[in-house]
Amino acid sequence: MFTLPTFQTAQTRLHPHLVPTPMTYATPAHLHLKWENHQPTHSFKVRGAINKILAMPSLPPLLITGSAGNHGQAVAHAAQIASQSTPTQAWVFVPENTPHVKVNRMIALGAKVERVPGLFADAEAKAIRTAREHGVPFISAYNDRDVIAGAGTIALEMLAQTPTLTRILVPAGGGGLISGVGLAAKAVNPAIEVIGVLAEASPYLYHQFYYGHMRDVEEHPTLTDGLAGAVEPGSITLDLITQACDAIVQVTEAEVANAIAFLYRELGEVVEGSGAVGLAAVMAGKIRTDDRVTGTIVSGGNIDPEKLAHILAHIPTP
């Protein structure tokens, strides 16, 4: 059961280690942007990782996780914080196509990183097996109450920064972010609308939300690597999204690229594909923002410089 005190407790736990990220208004899009790419690891994931690890009654010598990159950095950062009292190390299993910028930052944070052939689901499965073999916890990026509660603190900040918000657009991958943000936002204001946004190239959560299953979902390469991949069977997020979320929309790769270019050229922000999906949906006309006060979470900024340069070279300057 997630209640407002669940998220307030997480917020108190995070307070000594993180400062609230800024939220600004983009006039052309009629959209409030919550800049989670300003976090120490350039991603919202640090909230859930710190909350999870500091909530543990005792700290194991290894913290094992599977990650597309951002959660791995978050666990490594949280391990550094926790190691001030008890030494521990992050061991992160990532898909072989994980961006170099994310892998390099994990290593710089002291993590052991192992690339796994295949997709995110393959890396996650190997991480779960390895954690079981070593008798240590597996720190899920989304299938965990404390991780979800940490993510939900974003909603508390957004509603404190802009109390008039009545709609929040949330990147949706494994469901941890949208579950936490949606449940926390609705605990403050039950009438608030929460819309998930994800790529057409990896529509697992879309199928789960509208059809009740993820069978026969086709996955393709996507700029939104942080949202890509199948969801762990039995994940608590599969039920939570029905409580936390009012709708889910999909965006194309071209729409994501346009949003990344806009954020860089017009606002000077380096944003990865996963963090740009909310704005992408608005720019493509898939979500209106002139009817309700709307905010979106810019969930991360860990994009390879080469990928960003390629996008900018192929998107004409307005």
Q: What is the pLDDT of residues 71-97, one digit of tens each?
A: 999 999 999 999 988 899 999 999 998
CATH at 278 = 3.40.50.1100
Number of domains forming the structure of the chain: 2
pTM of the predicted model as reported, rounded to 2 decimal places: 0.94
Percent of the chain scoring above 70 in pLDDT: 100
The answer to whether residues 123 and 244 belong to one domain is: no
Three-class SS of 149-190: HHHHHHHHHHHHHCCCCCEEEEECCCCHHHHHHHHHHHHHCC
Q: Which residues are 95's β-sheet partners?
A: 116
The model's confidence at residue 62, banded by pLDDT at 50, 70 and 90, is: very high
* Domain presence at residue 35: yes
The answer to whether residues 32 and 52 belong to one domain is: no
Domain boundary, last residue among 91, 108, 134: 134
CA separation for the pair 228, 280 (Å, rounded)? 16
* Domain presence at residue 139: no
What is the DSSP secondary structure assignment for residue 39, as one 8-state letter?
A: S
- Which whole number is the average pLDDT over 256-285? 98
The answer to whether residues 36 and 56 belong to one domain is: no
The answer to whether residues 162 and 181 belong to one domain is: yes
The answer to whether residues 214 and 157 belong to one domain is: yes
Mean of per-residue pLDDT scores for the chain: 95
- Which whole number is the average pLDDT over 248-259? 98
The answer to whether residues 171 and 306 belong to one domain is: yes
pLDDT at 140 over 80: yes
Domain that holds residue 303: 4-42+144-314
